Chains A and B, each alone.
Chain A
Amino acid sequence: ETGVTQSPTHLIKTRGQQVTLRCSSQSGHNTVSWYQQALGQGPQFIFQYYREEENGRGNFPPRFSGLQFPNYSSELNVNALELDDSALYLCASSPRTGFYEQYFGPGTRLTVT
């Protein structure tokens, strides 16, 4: 059974650019959640997708958007990057909606310069 994978592992972007991060959910999982973890902080909930629909959103501006595909993989898109967007982005998949049984990927480290 393949766990949650994320790509890329690291990337560096310039302020104002756009970025797309990708997440492959664990087999059989239909729910994906995205989190932002700044240095020294706990992960902050960005949003959750359940069966291709957004199913809950944290306190993040609209320039943070997402998609979930029919195979339940997911993308996180961030437009107009700001320096404060530098963080570890974590994705978690689960077999049902909500926040039970979440399995996290290793994260994507985004640096905005």
Chain B
Amino acid sequence: DQQVKQNSPSLSVQEGRISILNCDYTNSMFDYFLWYKKYPAEGPTFLISISSIKDKNEDGRFTVFLNKSAKHLSLHIVPSQPGDSAVYFCAASGTGNQFYFGTGTSLTVIP
């Protein structure tokens, strides 16, 4: 039962352009959403989060948008840099102290 889905396994973007990574969820009880970045041979690193009471959160080049009615969130990276090339996971938590990751999107930023 995949409660958090990332339907694009991979994404390629030119350096300097915008990267948009998408994530959908099914459980309306989720109230906190996070994005993690993962390099090979390392654990995931926290990137940015958003509470369900907000629809946007920005941190430097990274912005997360939440559309609760569509059960959809997205991560925008502007401008994209080659060092952003990694696997990005969205994740969600809610009541019952459970935590769910998506399957990940591999981002390649082309110099």
Q: Which residues does A use to contact B, with CB under 8 Å? A: 4, 33, 35, 40-45, 48, 55-56, 58, 90, 92, 97-107
Chain B residues near A97 (CB-CB < 8 A): 97
Among the stretches B36-44, B54-62, B66-74, the one at the interface with A is B36-44
Question: A45 contacts B99, CB within 8 Å?
Answer: yes
B100 lies within 8 A of chain A by Cβ = yes
Residues of B48-107 whose CB lies within 8 A of A = 49, 89, 91, 93, 96-104
User: Quick one: closest A residue to B6, CB to CB?
Assistant: A42
Question: B89 contacts A43, CB within 8 Å?
Answer: yes
Question: A106 contacts B46, CB within 8 Å?
Answer: no
Question: A43 contacts B93, CB within 8 Å?
Answer: no
Q: Bound complex: CA of A101 vs CA of B39, how far in Å?
A: 18
With A40-B103, A42-B104, A43-B89 as given contacts, are A90 and B44 in contact (CB-CB < 8 Å)?
yes
Chain A residues near B89 (CB-CB < 8 A): 42-43
Main secondary structure of the interface of A (DSSP, over half): loop
Could you name 19 residue pairs across A and B whose Cβ atoms are closer than 8 Å?
A: A33-B99, A35-B101, A42-B89, A42-B91, A42-B101, A48-B97, A48-B99, A55-B97, A56-B97, A56-B98, A58-B98, A90-B43, A90-B44, A98-B93, A99-B32, A104-B43, A106-B42, A106-B43, A107-B43
Question: B43 contacts A105, CB within 8 Å?
Answer: yes
Chain A residues near B27 (CB-CB < 8 A): none
User: Quick one: closest A residue to B34, CB to CB?
Assistant: A99
Chain B residues near A106 (CB-CB < 8 A): 41-43
Chain A to chain B: the 10 pairs with minimum beta-carbon distance, closest first: A104-B43, A56-B97, A42-B101, A45-B99, A99-B93, A99-B99, A42-B103, A43-B101, A104-B44, A42-B102
Q: Bound complex: CA of A21 vs CA of B19, how far in Å?
A: 37
Chain B residues near A107 (CB-CB < 8 A): 43
- Smallest beta-carbon distance A33→chain B, Å: 7
Given A35-B101, A97-B97, 20 further pairs, Cβ under 8 A: A40-B103, A42-B4, A42-B102, A42-B103, A45-B99, A48-B99, A55-B97, A58-B98, A90-B43, A90-B44, A92-B43, A98-B97, A99-B32, A99-B99, A100-B32, A104-B36, A104-B44, A104-B45, A105-B43, A106-B42
